[in-house]
Amino acid sequence: MKYTVLSALLTLNRSEVKKNLVDNSDVQQALHSNNTLREYLFSLYECDYKRFFERLADIEVIMKADMFLHLHYKYYIREMKTKAYDQLLSTYISVKLSYMADQFGVTSDYIENDISNLIANGRLNYKIDKVSETVINVPDDPKTEVFKSVLKQGDLLLNRVHKLSRVINI
């Protein structure tokens, strides 16, 4: 069950998490015996970010000790922090760094450094205003979304043509 919950939280969006984990009686029954994993799931789903960060630290320890996951724990922790930050930030136009620090139970400097690294790496689409100490939501340009969609559809078409050409050549 550990692998199911960890991978689902990483890959599924909020509505899919509700459908596949939160509302699933089999998952709930299995999580009854694993308090850390249950709290980890529900803290992210219920937007209790301070408890989420506390449970994420527990998950990091568990992953480091796991023979399958120990090589991937840094990636997983970074991606889950990104997901939590985005989940909070996406609901606002701008958020004070101090508010985020309170929500996550860390210092403003920690939040600023963490988010600025994620923004610089292209993982979050926000801006940090140092003067007002806020994180500002930068809406995506509709043309960018259309461009990405066209590229994706073009790649799919090229793959289909390539498969068809292999079938014809046989």
Predicted TM-score of the model (pTM): 0.79
Quote the pLDDT of residue 139: 78
Q: Which CATH class is domain 92-139?
A: mainly alpha
Quote the pLDDT of residue 98: 95
* Domain residue spans of the chain: 1-79, 92-139, 142-170
Quote the pLDDT of residue 168: 85
C-alpha to C-alpha distances, 114 to 25, 35, 107, 133, nearest whole angstrom = 36, 28, 11, 14
Is there a contact between 50 and 60 (Cβ–Cβ < 8 Å)?
no
User: What is the spatial distance between Cα 113 and Cα 139, in angstroms, rounded to a whole number?
Assistant: 22
Quote the pLDDT of residue 149: 84
Looking at 18-141, list the stretches that DSSP marks H as alpha helix, in order from N- to C-terminal side.
25-31, 35-45, 49-65, 73-89, 97-104, 108-120
Task: Please return the burial class of 51, using the count of CB atoms within 10 Å of its CB with bins 0-12, 13-18 and 19+.
Answer: middle
> With a cut of 70, which residues of the chain have pLDDT below it?
170
Quote the pLDDT of residue 88: 94
Which letter, b or e, does each residue of 56-82 get, where b requires 16 or more Cβ atoms within 10 Å of its Cβ?
A: beebeebbeeeeebeeebeebeeebbb
